[in-house]
Amino acid sequence: MSRFNLLEENWIRVLEEGEMKEVSLITIFENAEKYRCLAGEMATQDFAMLRFLLAVLHTVFSRVNADGEAYEFLEIDEKFRQKEAVSEDDEEEYNDALMETWKTLWQRGKFPSVVRKYLETWKEHFYLLDEKYPFYQVTKEEILSRLKDGKNPSSISGKNLNRNISESDNKVALFSPTTIEYKSKMKEGEFARWLIMLQGYIGLSDKAIVGEEKYKASKGWLFDIGGIFLNGDTLFETLMLNLRVAVKAVGDILPIQRPCWEYSGAENIDRSFLGIADNLAELYTNWSRASLLDSAIDFSKDIKLDIVKLPELDHRMTEIEPMTLWKYNDSGENKNFYTPRKYRPGQALWRSFGLITVPSDLSEDSREPGIITWLSKIEKYIQKPQVRISAVGMQDDGNATSWVPVNEMIDNLALHEIVLFEKGKEGWVMRIKELVEDTKEVVGFIYKGFLKDMYDIRNTKKSVEEELEQAYFGLDKAFRDWLSGIDESSSKEDKIKEWKELLFFSIKERALEKVNECRQRDIKGIYEENAKGVKNIFTAYEYFLIRLKKKINQE
């Protein structure tokens, strides 16, 4: 029996006028302009939900325009399905039509009723519990028929599905947000949110696989990327800013936007073995697990979800992914390819400025996030000089055999569009990139050298990494304030001088604090045969100051 239809039941958490509320899938599109943002249990969950909502919009508006009319070179059936792909010959005209649709939607400030019409034609695929099309799941027959004889799916309990708890059966989570009795219990709407997040972030601790031959299993595509997206003043604006409608041909045709709910569970399993997704709707709804919840489950009791590993996407074949930072691989299995770059715990987003926006003279050697390239195309229409970039990622436990998600990483940057798009040799992009690299050299080389000298004098093996992160933390607010203060009237020379002075005095004072805390051993120092006599805290500081002044051109 079909239960809990996501089009009609309230399950998506949003923020409206400062209060959290739950709304249905249809309601969220009908009133997106009234909501401030998604407001789920975790930022990583909201990111997965954002991509799910974007998949709906990509599917609908790749087939019909803002008035619900099919594009003239497309044939749409009664379920809004696109019967044939657009040919390469029509690529320019198709992309022009998509752009016109985007501009019309932005100007109207509201999503049209065609989104509801599309969803209602697929209503039977949006039941959370169903014997034929369970949402984001497979049927019992589809999962069991693909397992090796005698094998069973792995199981994940509610207390592990809920990433605010993440408690295994062998170790109790001491600081759980809920009591022991309710750790594995959740309502239907909550389960739906965590299910979508599970497909994006899960790790590798479960065991069951499809068939007999081993393959590289997915940790969840979102687990492997450095998630980045644009933030608007309302949920409507956020969705629109990230609705990257431009499409590129794959071979002689343009890919059709096909989200997971337009396939059966069996088809989703089979497609996962292709290792690629050629359209955003499919990428944004990519599965890491074939999962099954008993359709007769009683939600007043503990939750148990059966899961089977699916193959991971080829990280070298996902150039269409717009919501990540990228890195170029000089070695390893992905040598000579770009792959998504995960966040480093504790590292502020501004330290990756050179990966967020790429100077024009480096564009052939670097890959800019697609969402930033997209912003450059729409910035003349949105008329919002202030840009807010949000970043979200998941930290793992460092165990290569399990990759258990342990902590989410979030960050935000507010800056003027000129900082992203003035890309000439003397433009803001290049100048700020150079300043960030200079800042990293000052902290990670010059100040680090002083700390190492100090530890040598004290004859300690203590790592300097914690001290370096404290130095970056001390610079964090100052850099954000400095960056957000740049606008079209700012003088480059004055602003650059301003930051260099802030950097100089901040790092100088931090080193001077170490000198003022010196001990007798620090003053006595050590004799170095290959150096000029005794090295103590004062000679180390003097050498540090000389290098700092030389780097920042301070007298």
Place of tokens 């949000």: 390
- The band of 528, judged by pLDDT with boundaries at 50, 70 and 90, is confident
For residue 165, name the pLDDT band (cuts at 50, 70, 90).
low
pLDDT at 175: 46
Q: Which amino acid is at 338?
A: Y
What is the Cα–Cα distance from 159 to 219, expressed in whole angstroms? 19
Token readout for 464 is 């300097």
Q: Which long-range contacts (CB under 8 A, 24 or more apart) does 475-484 make?
A: 475/439, 475/443, 475/502, 475/503, 475/506, 476/348, 476/350, 478/502, 478/506, 479/348, 479/350, 479/439, 480/350, 480/413, 480/414, 483/350, 483/413, 483/415, 483/419, 483/432, 484/414, 484/415, 484/416
Q: If pLDDT is split at 50, 70 and 90, which confidence band does 432 have?
A: very high
Q: Look at residues 500, 374, 344, 505 and name the one whose alpha carbon lies nearest to residue 432.
A: 500
For the stretch 314-362, pLDDT in tens is 998 888 999 999 999 999 999 999 999 988 888 899 999 999 998 766 6
pLDDT band at 364 (very low <50, low <70, confident <90, very high): low
Q: Is the pLDDT of residue 308 over 90?
A: yes
Reported as a single tens digit per residue, the pLDDT across 16-61 is: 999 999 999 999 999 999 999 999 999 999 999 999 999 999 999 9
Let me know how long the chain is: 555
**Between 342 and 282, residue with greater pLDDT:** 282
More confident residue, 336 or 179: 336
Lowest average pLDDT, out of 62-66, 181-185, 254-258, 396-400, goes to 181-185
Reply yes or no on whether the pLDDT at 363 is more than 70: no
**3-class DSSP state of 526:** strand
Give the closest residue to 221 by CA, choosing from 190, 240, 197. Answer: 197
Contact 2, 124 (CB under 8 A): yes
Phi, psi of 472 (to 5 degrees): -65, -40
pLDDT band at 179 (very low <50, low <70, confident <90, very high): very low
Whether the predicted pLDDT of 168 surpasses 60: no
Query: What percentage of the chain has pLDDT greater than the value 90?
Result: 76
The pLDDT of residue 297: 92
426-552: CATH number: 1.10.132.100
User: Long-range pairs for 90-95 at CB < 8 Å and ≥24 separation?
Assistant: 90/254, 91/247, 91/248, 91/249, 91/254, 94/247, 94/254, 95/245, 95/246, 95/247
The model's pTM is 0.93
| Lowest mean pLDDT, pick from 269-273, 357-361, 417-421, 475-479 | 357-361
Q: What is the pLDDT of residue 553?
A: 80
CB atoms within 10 A of CB 120: 12
Phi (first) and psi of residue 116, to 5 degrees:
-65, -45
Two structure tokens written together for 395: 């930290």
The Cα 194–Cα 515 span in angstroms is 51
**Strands in 329-445 per DSSP E:** 338-341, 386-396, 405-416
Cβ neighbors of 503 (< 8 A, separation 6 or more) are: 438, 439, 442, 475, 552
Residue whose C-alpha is closest to residue 524's, from 513, 540, 509? 540
Parse the chain into domains and list their residue ranges.
3-130+219-419, 426-552
Residue whose structure tokens are 């050298």: 449
d(CA 548, CA 546): 6
Output DSSP code: residue 301. S
Higher pLDDT, 251 or 70: 70
Q: For the segment 113-158, what is each residue's pLDDT rounded down to a tens digit?
A: 999 999 999 999 999 999 999 999 999 999 999 998 878 999 998 8
Beta strands of 169-321 (E only): which ranges?
227-231, 253-254, 289-292, 304-309
CA end-to-end span of the chain, whole Å? 78
Residue 174 has pLDDT above 70, yes or no: no
Q: Please state, in angstroms and rounded to a whole number, the distance separating the CA atoms of residues 543 and 546.
A: 5
Rounded to an integer, what distance in angstroms lies between the CA atom of residue 421 and that of residue 430?
A: 10
Distance CA 54, CA 193 (A): 15
The single-letter DSSP state of residue 398 is S
CB 307 within 8 A of CB 208: yes
**Percentage of residues in the chain with pLDDT exceeding 70?**
94
What's the rounded mean pLDDT across residues 473-492?
Answer: 95
Query: Any bridge partners for residue 463, and if so which?
Result: none
